[in-house]
Every structure is written in C-alpha cells, then in structure tokens.
Structure 1
Amino acid sequence: MALQIHYTKTHFSLTMLHNTTLSSNKVSALRGGLGTMLLHSNCISDKQCDSCFFSDECLVQRIMYSKFDIKPAYITTGESVGYILECENHKRNFQKGDLLEFDLILFGKSIIHFSQLLQALFSLGQSGLGANKAHFSISDIQNENGKNILCNGNIIMSNYQPHMLQSYVEHRLTEFPYANELSNVSLIFHSPTTIKYQGNIQQSFHIEAILNSIARRIEMLNYYEGKPISGKELIHNIPNVIKQSSYAEEVNRYSSRHKENIKLHGITGDLLLSNVDFETLSLLLAGELIHIGKNTSFGFGRYTVVPQ
C-alpha cells in the first residue's frame, strides 16, 4: 500500500528561437521562470506572498509549495514534494533550432495542475528563459510511454496518463533476472544528492542513509495524499557496500523569492551493493523515480539501479 502513490512523468522538448546562452543549471531557470509566469497570471497581491490574505488558496503556492493533506511534524520548510524537474543538460551555448529537453514529474494532487504549468511554460517561451531571455517554442510533449500529448498544436489530454509508483517498481523488477534472490546491484547517482543523516549532511554515500531517505520520501508522498504511513516499516534489510566513489558538487541558483544567490551542495558518484533482497530492491527502484534527499524539486537525488 505504501507505493500506491499517483504520479505522471512528462517529457518536454523546447526549440530555441535564436542564438542564446543559458546557465548550466537549467532546472533553476525553468523552476524560477515557471513560478514567475504563474505569478503574472494569478497573483492579485503584488507578489507580497508573506502578507497576502489569499495565500492559503493561492494557486501558485499550491503548485510551487505543495500543501500536505496531513502535514507530518518534521516538515518545517516550504520545499515542495508535488513536483520534480529533471534536466541534466549543462550546455550553455545554444544555436537557433537547438533543442532543450527536460522531464516534469508530478505527484498526487499536483497532477491536476498540468494545464496551468503548460500555460506557464508557453508564456515563459514568449517572455524568455534565464538572464538572457532566451525565447523558445514547445515543439514536443510526450508521456512516460512515448505517446504524444502535443500533436499538431493540440493538447491530447487522454494521453496525459497518471500511474502508480507500485506499477513503476513492478515494471522495473522485470528487468532484474534475479530479483527474488540475494543479488548485487549498483546505484549510479546522476544529479547531486543531499542527504542529512544522524544530524550531518553526508559527504560520502551510506546505504543506511540512502534507504532512510527513500523511506522518508515515500512517507512524505503518502502524507501529501492524506495517507499516514510509517516509512521505517519499509526497511527490512541493510545490504553490504562493496565499493563506492563519491564527488562533491555545488550548484548555484538565484532565488527570486529571497532575492539572493544560493549555493546548493550535494554528492554524485556510484556504489556497488551485495546481498540485496527483493524488498530492498523494490525500495531502491521506487527511489529512482521519486528522487531522494533535499532539493528534489530542483532535480537533486536522481539515481538509477543497475543489475550486476
């Protein structure tokens, strides 16, 4: 039942309309741009969010800083669990006609806001992305199975298909020939991962911290849908770490909300695990989709599980 979490994953292709330069951190630019466009079309209080009488019902707040149906006591920040932006393209110089591709994952109640986010992206293309106001058109939108959501300028909402995290895990398990036996797997971290464990931000990978982070994330997404569960009950076994490599990474982003530059820290790398049982493999595969650690809305904490 813990993996009965609704999600959609949508792939976007943007075509640059002129030669331009973008920052290496595309997720921050996209997230900030989408938030700005949503404010332009919805805000009635001159963007004074902290003092706004309507903040509890604000569409922008509901999309960008998701409200839990049941809020766990440990949630003290405004970080959203409702969406993830994935874009690991660090290219800076784009020519007219070049593509910028990214994925948008929506969870739970946020799934219903796809149309508002799509309209915000369309407006962002007209207004311009990033400091250089790079203009773009939306050339393609596909669902998780490669079906077109955008076709000849029309949006086909029937192809915008919500799925369950459980179904994702079950599909991925079919790609592991020894899933029902103790086996070896590798975790490959593609984006910076920031995990706080036992009071400290991890400087290298610890499997206990990774499993706890996955379980906490599943717990939070269930709370977001109004289903209180205990994430600790999802951890049944701790695999052995045979070897690992980790590298510190720093991502710079500008926060339009706080009007300042912020540095986000994390680690990338990989680790090889042994004695991975079926329950642990299922948990690790769930973490692939939902990401782990802090700053997941910026694409942090993405990894894949590879059989060995």
Structure 2
Amino acid sequence: MIGPGRRQHNTALFPACRLLLDLRAISTIRFPANVGSALHGGFGAALKSLVCVVKDTPCAQCRLYRSCAYPYLFETPPPLTTARMPKAQMIPRPYVLEPPQAEKSVYPAGETLQVGLVLIGKAISYLPFFLEAFALMGRRGISQGTNRFSLERWRLYDAPGGPASVRLAGEEFAKATGGPASAPLTGEAFAREHDSASCPVPLHRLKVQLLTPTRIEHAGQPVRRLDFPTFFSSLLRRLRNLQFFHYGLSDEEDDRRLRDLSQTITVATDRLIWLDQRRLSHGRWTPQGGLMGELSFQGDLTAYLQFLRLGELVHVGKGTTFGMGRYELVTEVKDSI
C-alpha cells in the first residue's frame, strides 16, 4: 500500500505573493476592536473610487461587471458557467489582508504600522490597484475622513522566510506590474523549504497556533471544538477553490483518500478559546467570532504538511480577507514509528 506521504500534489502550481506595507500615521489612528474589518472596508471603498466609471449603476447590472477590477477583487462573482459552487453568489476572494499583529488600537502621528497582503493567482497582476487603493485610503482616512496615513514603502517576500525586495512608494508604483508577477511565491517554493514528500521519516506531531480568530463552520454553524478532519477539510476546500477559480487548475485526484486518512489524526492538546467579535455590514451587525490559541495534532501528518504550509499563507475558514484564520505551524516531533 502506498503511504499518504508518497504522492507529490499540485501545490507547486499555486502562485501567490506576500507583501508587507509600511503605513505611517499622518494623524492619530484609532482602530475599532475589529481592525481587519476597518481596513477591509476602507480598502474596498478606495478601490471602487479608483476604478468605477459607471457611478450610478449597481455593479451586478453594469456592462463592465465581468471585466472590472473592483468586482473581481472585492465582490468576486463565480464564472457564468461552472459546476463548482453552483449556488454561490460570490466565490473566495483572491487576496488576504493581514492587520498589524501588535495588540494595540492607537497609533500616534508619525508612528509606522505594518499591514500584510497576500495576492493569489490572477490577482498578482492587480498589485498596482492594491497599492493605489491603499494610498488613496490613507489620504482620505480609513473611516469618515479620520485615521489618515501615508504608504511609505512595500516589501515583496521572494521566498518563505527569505529576503524581501524593498520598494519605496510614490514613483515605484509605476514599476509594480512587472515585479511580483515575475517571481511569485508558489507551492513549489514552499516545498523547497517545507516539502513533506522529502521528509526522510514520518511527521507524527504538529502544533498549530491560531493567531487571529479562526471561524470554521459545519452545517452553517461555527465549530467551537476543532479536530483535524474538520480543520483539514476546510483548508483543502479553500485551497482547491482558490486554485480552480483564480488559477484555472483542478487537482483533486487524491483528496478523498486524504480526507479519509485525516480521521486517524487526533488532538493531543487543546488550548483554544473562543473570541467574540462582529462587523458592521450594510447597516447590520454580522458575527465574526472565532477560535484563538493553540492545539497539537498527532498521527501520521507527513502527507498533510504541504497543504498546512500553504494554509499559513492563505489562511483558513471564514473572513480571510479581513485577516481571520491566520495560523502558524510548529513542528514538535519528527520521528519514525
């Protein structure tokens, strides 16, 4: 029998790029409790102002709907003909915003804060739109003319954990198009550093640190006790959807076997807590609570590491464009049994 770690999956064909934006507060910035929601809303409003040429028409009724940058990035509609997610009005967005990791809500004028940005598949070519939208959001203010900032510079990470290409804002915007698209992070780059298929011995224990609220739903309800099959199934579904819709690739040959084998992975330790939060959307409050903390899984995890590493990049669960579902892996034990 071929073990679960023997097949090399198409994670190599998963182009993405991660950037870090340095924002300098022009006036004192006071974030609400849900920082990701505030940044997401400000970015969307700025992006629409930049690209919309038919101001008095709802997006879905506009003749440019299928070719405009705003709906593709911010309200991503499914293709006209697709058997995947056929009932969905919107599909997973091809980017992730990562709010500042510092646990603070106030940034005095002159202080710098860092926002992460992950672009996936075709969205990589839209980098200039993201940069211009952030610059406009800074000039206008994140909310109602307040919380203003300037985009000082942005850094493209050329490899996981490796050096970054630093680019100043301003005149460098014009050079953005040819940069990340020529050398994006890919699953292959992750494989070079963390490839499970090349592990000489199986991986039997792994710690997962949930850094931002992680909201995984089952049957329409949030999961409050997380096990590995639920975690992996949610992650795999997200990876496959992103791969299909934003890169045009479908590779699900081994997915059922991986899901079945995930039932053998158990929870070794669970130190998760539930964090309640919400966001205001179209005049009403929407719950965005999720799990935070850490837990450890045990079992033969070798085949799953390449997927879990990609999840560190693209996050897992609901609300990823707000920065939810961010996690890091810690390899606790790597041995043979």
Common topology (TM > 0.5): yes
Whether the aligned pair in 2 keeps the contact of 1:169 and 1:286 (CA below 8 Å) is no
Q: Structure 1 residue aligned with 2:23, among 6, 14, 19?
A: 14
**Is the alpha carbon distance of 1:206 and 1:98 closer, same or farther for their aligned partners in structure 2, counting shifts above 3 Å?**
same
Greater shift in the superposed pair: 280-289 or 264-273: 280-289
1:119 maps to 132
C-alpha RMSD over aligned residues: 2.6
Number of residue pairs matched by the alignment = 305
Matches within 5 A, 1:250-261: 250-255=276-281, 258-261=282-285
Write out per-residue CA displacement over residues 118-161 of structure 1, whole angstroms, 9 at most, x where no aligned residue.
11111111111124621111112101132113268524535423
Alpha carbons 2:18, 2:119 under 8 Å: kept = yes
Mind listing any 5+ residue stretches in structure 1 that lack a counterpart? none
SS in 2 for 1:270: strand
Identity across aligned pairs (percent)? 22
Alignment equivalent of 1:85, drawn from 97, 110, 117? 97
- Superposed, 1:224-243 pairs within 5 Å as 224=245, 225-230=247-252, 231-235=255-259, 236-237=261-262, 238-243=264-269
Tell me whether 1:94 sits opposite 2:107 in the alignment.
Answer: yes
* Cα distance change on mapping 1:201 and 1:232 into 2, 3 Å: farther
**Partners of 2:92 and 2:242 within 8 A in 1:** no
Q: Partners in 2 of 1:220 and 1:300 — Cα distance?
A: 18
- Matched residues in 2 for 1:279 and 1:179: separation? 12
Q: Does the CA contact (< 8 Å) of 1:2 and 1:218 recur in 2?
A: no
Q: Does 1:141 align with 2:154?
A: yes
- C-alpha distance in structure 2 between counterparts of 1:86 and 1:283, whole Å: 20
TM-aligned CA distance change 1:266 to 1:169, over 3 Å: farther
1:42-86, Cα deviation, whole Å (9 max, x unpaired):
221326234434323332001113345656136614253300001
Instruction: Say if 2:227 and 2:266, in contact at 8 Å, map to a contact too.
Output: no
Matches within 5 A, 1:183-202: 183-197=204-218, 200-202=221-223
Task: Determine if contact 1:22/1:132 at 8 Å carries over to the other structure.
Answer: no
Measure, in 2, the Cα distance between the counterparts of 1:281 and 1:240: 15
SS in 1 for 2:288: strand
How far apart are the structure 1 equivalents of 2:166 and 2:104? 26
C-alpha distance in 1, partners of 2:239/2:28? 42
Q: Say whether residues 1:269 and 2:293 are aligned partners.
A: yes
The 3-state SS of whatever aligns with 1:138 is strand
- State TM-score, norm by structure 2: 0.81
Supply the AA of the counterpart residue of 1:172: H
Quote the Cα distance in structure 1 between the aligned partners of 2:21 and 2:144.
21
Q: Is the 8 A contact 2:78 2:91 kept in 1?
A: no
Q: Of residues 266, 291, 297 in structure 1, which corresponds to 2:321?
A: 297
130-139 or 101-110, which deviates more: 130-139
